[in-house]
Structure formats: C-alpha cells, structure tokens
Structure 1
Amino acid sequence: MLMAATKSLGLVSYICSRCCWGNSMAKSRPRGISTKENYKAGGRSSELAKAVFSVDGMTCSPSIGAIEEALRRLPGIREAVLDLLNNKVRVLYYPSSINEETIRETIEHAGFQATLINVDINERSTADQVCKIHINGMTCTSCSSTIESALQAIPGVQKAQVALATEEAEVHHNPKTVRHNQLLQAIEDAGFEAILISTGDDSISKIELKVDGLDTDDHTVGMIEKSLQSLPGVQEIVIYPELNKVSISYIPDMTGPRIFISVIESTGSSKAMLYPKGKGGREARRQEEVDQYYRFFLWSLVFTVPVFLTSMVLMYIPGINHVLDIKVVKMLSVGMLLRWELSTPVQFIIGRRFYTGAYKSLRHGSANMDVLIVLGTNAAYFYSVYSLSRAAYSKDFKGTDFFETSSMLISFILLGKYLEVLAKRKTSDAIAKLMDLTPETAILLALDDEGNVMSEQEIDSRLIQKNDAIKIIPGAKVAADGYVLWGESHVNESMITGEARPVGKRKGDMVIGGTVNENGVLYIQATRVGSESALSQIVRLVESAQMAKAPVQKFADSISKYFVPLVIMLSFSTWFAWFLAGKLHSYPKSWIPSSMSRFELALQFGISVMVIACPCALGLATPTAVMVGTGVGASQGVLIKGGQALESAHKV
C-alpha cells in the first residue's frame, strides 16, 4: 500500500510538472535600460502569435505525442496545445522566428493533414501577465491588506495577492493598461519598498554576467549597452557598475548567454563570465534579514537581562537589595535609575523599526501590529518615567515602574521575528535545492552539417542555449530538457515522477533536466532552457503555492483589519471603567496602593490590556506554517499546492 501511495504521489508530481510544462543587492541605484521599444522599432517583433490548425488523422494519444514532439523541435514555438475531440491544434509562436506555413508543413511531415484556421498576432499583449514583486517592510496582515487594496485600485489590475510569509506580491494585470513600474510606485506610495522579481512572462529568461571594468569606464558601459541592444530577443538590460554586473532578460528561442558573452568580449575592453551563484537575489536578502534580526535581538538581551534582574530577582537577594534601594533624590532609588538608563536604548534605538512601521501605517490611514507594539511599550515606558519623576519630587511616593515590561516585550517580539525570518530562509534554501538538481557542468558538442561530432567542450550548465547538442555520460545528470538525438540508455526520473524504476530512452524520446542517466551514452538536443525548463516550472509551482492563502488564513486576515482598533478601544474602555468606578466609589479604597490615585490605578489596568495584546501571532502563524510546510515538502519531493491542500490533508 505504501508503494502504491508513493507511486500515486509521484504521478501527481509528474502531472503537475507536465501541466505547467508549457506555461537588489546593490544599495546604489542601478543603471538600466529597457530595450523592448528599441527592439520593436527595428522592425522585429517579440510578441507572440496564436495559430489554430485543423488536423485530420488524430485518433489517439500516440498521434498527439507525435505532433507535440515534432512541434517542440521547431525554433520559436512557445506552446502547442492539442484538442483530440475537435481535431485542432493551437500553437503559440514568435513570428520573428517561424511562420504558420512552416508549422503546418511540420504537422504534415508527422503524417497528418493540417489546415490553418485562424492567426491572432499580438496574443501576448491581449493576455494578462502575472508580475511578481518583493516587498520590504511588512510586519503583519494589516500591511499586506493595505498593499492589496492599493494595487487593486489601479486600473488594469485584475487581481493582487500579497503573501506576508514570502514578502512577495503576485499581480495579475493587463500589460497594455498598466506597466510594472506603476505597480512598484503604488507599493512605494503605500510606504513599503518594492523590488521587481519577474514580469510574469515565462517565455523570458534572465541571466547575470560579471563584466570587468564597468565601475571605471562609462564608455565601456555605453558600448556594452548598444551591442546587447542590437541582439534579437533581448528584452531588458540592467547594468550595476559598482558590482560589475550586467543583468539581461531575453527570449531563449532567439538568443542565449554564450552570445552575450561573445558580444561583450568583442568590444575588446571587457572580459565577461557568469555571475557567481549566491552573490545576490532572494537568498542574499533573506540572509541579510536573518543577520539583522539576530543582531537586534542580541543587543536587546544585553540591556533587557539586567533590567529584568534588577526588577524581578536581585531585589530579593540580601545585600544587593539594599544597594538598589539607596535613595538618590527623595524616593528615587538607584534601581529605578538603572532600569531607566538600560531600557531607554531598547525602547528608542533597538525598537526604532517599530516606530518607523507605525508611522508609515498611520500615514496611510491604517493600524498594523507596529502601532500596537509602539502604543503598548510606550505606555509602559512613559508611565514608568512618570513614576520616576513623581518619586524624585515626593517623600512618600511608593509607585512601581514597568521598565522591564517595555524592554522585555520588545526583546520577545524581536526573538519572534528572528525565528520567523530563520524559517523563511530555510524554506528558501529548500527551494534552492530543487534548482541544484541540475548539474553544474555539461558537455557541449559541436556538430557539422551532417550531424557528426567535431569537438566536445565542458561548459557551465547555465550557458546552455536552445537547440544545443549535449552529451550525457553514464551516471551523469541530464543537463537540460530536450530529446534524444542518438544513443540508448535508461534514465532515473524519480525526482519528477516518484517512480524509482529507470525508464528506457532511445532516439526521439524526451528527457528532463536533473534526471539521472543510468547506463549508456545519450546525445540530446536542448529544447527548453532557463525559465522554460521543467525544474523551473516546478519551483514556480511551489512559490505560487506559498502565495495561495489557506481558508483559515483568509479568516485571520479579515479579523486582523479590526484587531488593532479593537484592542485600542478595549484598552481605553478598561481605563474609563475603572476610573469611573473609582469616582463612584464602587470598590474599596484599600484596593488603591498608597500614594497612588484612582486615575493612576485605572491607567495601569488600561496599559495592561494594551501590553498583553502586543505579541499577536494571529496574522503570522498560518502564513509561516504554509510557507515552511510547502518548502519542506518540496525538498522531500512532495509538491503541495498551497495552504488549502495542507488544511484539507487531515481528512485523507
């Protein structure tokens, strides 16, 4: 039964991957240029076209496979969808690389009669795109709700989904109506930092190159920009001179990274290579965030532990308590002064991020968890300062300070944030391990016109371009998605299908990047590279799953909108009720501590409500659990499609 379950799970993973088969480190401002407009102006269009063909002779799945395999080998084909019931084939393609007549002839060469029904140019322009944006500064679900509302108010935005755990936004929008820079501006206007991850077009890949000398020569930068702009298929170029880095977005069907390196080096003044892994991107941001919260938490402990000891422990130790009770001015003791001095840096320096978050939230008419934290800790801190000042001017005042409450509260919240970002980083590592399934290097073949091997060269697998011929030796991982040119072997595809039994491969069979060649030598032709590969699609599937909200999370989000105002109202109501009860003498006067008024007693109760409500996990527990669950599942070969699947799993 366990084997059957494993195979079923593998089949689900395989179906998921096959279904989706066709579908800033630098603090300085980067120097960038979008070449899409220039590219169109040159008479070459990077837009997709859709052609629908009527095909006679499709009777079963093998016939579908024959047509699909033939079309995938063509340059410029983005997607081919076959409708067996209606005998139709819908093909998405780049008109600059291939035309509909070539597609029709290819179908007929596969043994079927094809007739062109209709052609729709600019298919990509009419369809909605999914833009992904990284967002810094979110602290609770109130922040994510504010950003969602700001994005959905933009004309042309169909749907906006903001995930607190992954700190990302997924925006479905019409590219004709709204561009991604408008989405970034809307997020920044809401008080958060926005960094574009992707524009949502799976047909566009991105490569980062390290180019020597960019930080010293503006003339070199200009030459590189112009040289890359002239290449067909280049969509966007962003140059970071301080990092000697060039980021290029391109269409894999039209160009590739080896061409970029060759063009850059042809300028004669620069040497180009792939940018080292792990030097930027999401992993670097995650690690920087972990290190930042770790430092904050350690510094808060340095000040908070002595405050806790002087207020809760040392006062009961003979000898030490006499030192702490020494009066400096009237009733003001050494212990009170010491706690004041130690808690002040925690409140205003280490806890500064909470003030910043609260200000941004209130500026845009909303109240997030930062507002609650600031109100609670400030209430405890400034009431303690008030008690301290009363003690300095009174001979009989015996009030209590709450400096340990404010400092310990900030320390606990920082500990919670540290554990949260640590979990996020580990999940990012799990997703990164998926991409590491592809081999580091590949053996590139140079073929003559007759298909004979002229030479072999070992290259970085990231330099593989579409239609490259690759040699896969026994025991090696398949370097890219493609089909077998010649050779026979067995391939272990368990990382995709869950089936450990090797699958036989021969000429014409499809292979998937990251799978293991068991025996025999295979010579393959790469058909899908970069963002189009099956592994990249699986990673996107996992990331999309982390964006999806579980039903309980949606419920928590709806509550969080009213949580902060409700807590403030309850706190005020508590103070007013006790103050009114004191005025009406509804409780014994003995309840009031000596030298304290009814107002001060009521204020203590109101502050207590505010302080207790601060460390709220309502909006953080569910998204973090979903993120960690999907990430750990992915590292174990289980693809979980969002929080709803996790929430329903207990019923299985």
Structure 2
Amino acid sequence: MHLFQIPLFFMGVICPHIPFIYSLLLWRCGPFLMDDWLKWALVSVIQFVIGKRFYIAAIRALRNGSTNMDVLVALGTTASYVYSVCALLYGALTGFWSTTYFETSAMLITFVLLGKYLECLAKGKTSDAIKKLVELTPPTALLVVKDKDGRSIEEREIDSLLIQPSDTLKVLPGTKIPADGIVTWGSSYVNESMVTGESLPVLKEINASVIGGTINFHGVLHIHATKVGSDTVLSQIINLVETAQMSKAPIQKFADYVASIFVPTIVALSILTLLCWYTAGALGAYPDEWLPENGNHFVFALMFSISVVVIACPCALGLATPTAVMVATGVGANNGVLIKGGDSLERAQMVKYVIFDKTGTLTQGKANVSVAKVFAGMDRGEFLKLVASAEASSEHPLAKAILQYARHFHFFDESSLTNGSQNDANELKPGWLYDASDFSAIPGKGVQCIIDGQRVLVGNRKLLVESGINISTEVESFVVELEESAKTGILVACDGILIGVLGVADSLKREASVVIEGLKKMGITPVMVTGDNWRTARAVAKEVGIQDVRAEVMPAGKADVVRSFQKDGSIVAMVGDGINDSPALAAADVGMAIGAGTDIAIEAANYVLMRDNLEDVITAIDLSKKTFSRIRLNYVFAMAYNIIAVPVAAGVLFPSLGIKLPPWVAGACMALSSVSVVCSSLLLRRYRKPRLTTILEIVVN
C-alpha cells in the first residue's frame, strides 16, 4: 500500500518544487495531463486491489442484512473516486476542468488500513498471557527407561510431544516439569507462580502432584506422568483463556444494536449534508469565495458529505467491549484467576451475595482429630482400630483424618515422627485393620459397615438418630462442647450402642476473616453454607465474621440455597472446591472454584481460582469491576467522539469558525478513535490485585 501512496505524495507535494519533473507531469498525453493519468492509475490500484477487502466485507454485511464500518469506508472512498473520474471525463468533453480528489480516496484507505494495523498490534499485546503460557512447556524431557522389574536402566532425552501417560520422567534442578504427574521419588521446591499465581515455592515430596510447565528449584524429582498434551492443566488454562477472549459480554449486544442503526443513520446524515450544502449554495446562502479552486457547489457539498461518512466510527463502539475482555482475561490468567468469558466478567461486577462453602474453602480442608473419647468399656486403641476399619473405604476428608490419627496412635510416638516415617504411616500395614463388609457411605451423614458381624456406624447425630440409637446426656454435652469450639463431633456406634466420639478440627485459612471484611466493605453480603451441624457452623461463621449461615445442608441442597438468594433478582456468587459443590457452582450466577484445576471445577465454575487462597475471590470481583469501568469509559468516549465529530465533519462550524475537515483528515480521525479505544483497554494490563493488607481499604466507586 505504501509503495503506491508514496508516489502520490511525491507528485502532490515534492514535484511542484522541481521544475523539470513538474513540467513532465503537466505534459498533455491524449485528453488528460500525465499527472491525471498517473493519479488515476495509482489510485485505481489502491481503490480496487488494496481496498478490495472493504468491498467484500461491505457486500457480505449487506447480504446479511446488517451494516458496519466497511460499508462506510466503501461508500466514502467510492464517492471520492467516482467523482474524480467523472470530473476528468467531464473536463475532456467540455474543456471545463474541475479539481479531482484521487488523493482523498487513496489517503482514506491508507489511514483506515493503518488504523486496523495498529489495532492488530494492540490486540496482539492482549494475548501475551496465552503466549507466555504456551512458552512454559519445555521442548524436551528426560525419560527414565525401566526394565521388566521396574529398575531404571537408561535415561533418554525425548521431545515433550512424545510423552505418554505412565511414563517416568526425571526433572533436574532449574528445569521445567514437562507434564502433569505425581512425584514418585525425590523432594524439591517447585515454583508454580506462572500457572497458579502463587509467589512462594511449594514443597513437593513423594505422592505430591505437579503441574507441567512449572519450574523445579533445588532437588531432582522423578515423576509419573498422568496427563499429557491437551489434557494437562496448562493446556486447559490456555483453552479457557482463548475461549474467554473470543466470547462476547452481554453488554456487547448493546454495542451491536447501536452499530446496526448507526451506519444507516450516518448514511442518511451524509445525504442530508450533501443536499443542505448544495441547496444553500444554489440559493446563494453562502459566498462563492468558500468554494475550492475550480470547484462548484456540488463538489463543495460532496466533500462535507464524504467527511461525514468517513469520520463516523462504529469501530470504536465495536472494540470497546471485546478488547477490554481480552485484556482482562489475560490479566486474570497472569494472576491465577481463570475467567470463562465476558458474560462471567459482567455478572461478577454486579454480585450482591457471595456464598462460601465451609470445608476446604473457608477452612484449610485438612481435618485433624484433636480428641477421641470412649464412652463404653472399650480400650482406646481398640476403639480407634474399629473406627479406622470402618472409614478405610471412605474418600471423605474426615475419614482420612481419622485414619491418620489411628495410625499414629497404633504405630508411632508422634513426638518422634520424621518426614520419612510420616510417609510410611500413610501406607496401611497388613493385618492392622479389621475386614469390613457391606460398606456404604450416606451423603451428609456418615458411613456404615459390618465388622465381625457387628453393624458399625460412624457419622453425625442425624445418622445415629435415624438408626434408632440413643444419645445420652453425657455424650450430647460433650458433642455440644466440641461444636461450640468450632470442632465437628463424629459419633461412633457398634451394634446399636454409642461407644465413643471423635472431635475433628479444621482450622480456618489465615486470610478468611480479612477477605470477609473486605467483601462487606465492597457492599457484598457474605453467606456460609455447610453440611456441618449448626453449632459448629455458627462457631466458624462467628470467627470469620459471617452473620448469615445455612447449616446441615446436603450437597444437592446447596444449589437450592443459591436459588433462594436469586429469587429477588440478586446476582449470587458461589465459592466452593469445585467437586461436591459443582451443582451449586453451576446454579450460581458466578461460580468460583477455589484451589482447583480439575476438569469438574473448570466445567462447573465461571471462575477457576488456581491458588488455594480466598484473596482471589476479592481479585476476581475487583478485576471485573475495573474491567467494566473501563468498558463504560470506552463507550462514553466512542459515543462522545461521534456526537462531536460528525457535526464538525458536516461543516456546522465552517460558517462561524471556518473549521473544515477534508475527507482524508476525517479518515485519520476515525482511525485514531479506534486505536485510542484499544489503547484505553490496554491500560487494564497495569492492573494490580488488592493485597491482603489493603483489602480493607478498598473503595468501590
């Protein structure tokens, strides 16, 4: 394009100051001057070859019954080009030569394409997050080859694309982990900040999970690859960010609607401008001195009309939302907050209630048995063995806590435990547990099974009461005491008799109370929902500062709690672990899966908070508010630009102030407006998430 624009510029600006060359341009060749022939040829190439894309896009839009910026560009440049050709032919036939405006058509296309090029450059910067994520995957990996007996016999460097699930990979210090997997040997700290946003390195030991693309710091690790290729957490993040950046926010529908009526309105205003100025000239309403050299009233009116078409910019309206959404999703990914799309961003900035699951969300999710009391004439060790045998088949976090406590009691002096013995304790020893049969887990209540012909129940009050087991006053008082101290009481019954109680504590996350207070400062009401009993729930809620509590709620009932808050039209966010809370996450207007990178979390939630940190709830909401403040600013700018620019282009200020925008200047202004909206959105890249120490100082505008 520039190769054709340069000679046009040279002919119009430089050549008149070079007598020899200028005389050649004024040489008459047939009916036209050489200058006219050259301009016609060069501009024809620009108009119909380089500018072909505008005609194709305009025709496609009109066939679909819509109008867009391409229609305006095609109309404006074609009007300028056709008039110039007609002026040349009219001069050849009549001898009356009018000024041609070939340069105007060429410069319009030049500036519009330059604007689109700058937009592409700016948009490309919004995808830096994806590029950085893609670059995280190392190109090669060290494969550990084993013989039939499982002994390592060789280490081979292979391309990362060739890694298969179940491969054993060696990760050296300072290198990137090539795939998702489980540590089978070694111990080291791993920097996961590029994926989760967590700044502190995480200790990885045997059986710990690792994420592909993260950096191993100190020790050598052997990992068992579990997910490769498109199944890895990193690939899921990349796909999620790409999908989010391509999605439309509901507010975009407003811009699409405005654009659909904007172009026909501008065309109508352009025609009206042409008629008004031409009629006024014909009636002598303005002096002939206003006319261009060798011009007439029609040419004078046409230039205003073309400027109106060209300066109007629906592009700025169209770019206001998608560019901001693209930047915000990239910024979120860099901070460990994955956003599913523009609709999620829009809903999050209007959240009125945030409902928190208790276990694993407000609490650490790592339950520990703090007390075990036997109420029957049974040895304490025998009691723990019986409970552990019943819970051995359960996947519930409380069951794992009970098993760990029982193992320690039976096999170790806890004061002498080391990291090595801790790992050993996680392996069941043959003959330690009783054989349990007819095991069944009862959601929200506990478990039951048969051990040595006796029916064993382990669970909450509801389970025992529904089974017809009497709870004595002494036991009830002990359980109440546990619950009032924010512990969960686990009741154990054998053969219809209550034999003991375990007190299980799950400590709160250190940032929980501050985050809750931060939400209140933002005008958002926090709510806690849990399957735990009322006393424990109230004790935990009181500690973090939540007034509204819903306890003893089954997993399926959490979605009903969400819907109860939505009845008055309020926007509700649900924060959970993304697995047993998935129905509630799906039911909420904004689902936030915290500390989870699982398929279930990504499927059910609108936001996936990769770190196990409640601060990211604040970050997600704050980022959405900042994003939509920027989108609204973009809309105000785009609308204000058109409201001011169109009348100026129509010549409203020309009679009084002599201000006139030639069509090529109008084209430059139009391109600049689009670029400025994109640059406005790019300012979101400077976003910094609120820190824990400043959350209480958040001021919501």
TM-score category, normalised to shorter length: 0.3 to 0.5
Q: Larger Rg: 1 or 2?
A: 2
Of Structure 1 and Structure 2, the greater helix share is in 2
TM-score (normalised: structure 1): 0.48
TM-score (normalised: structure 2): 0.45
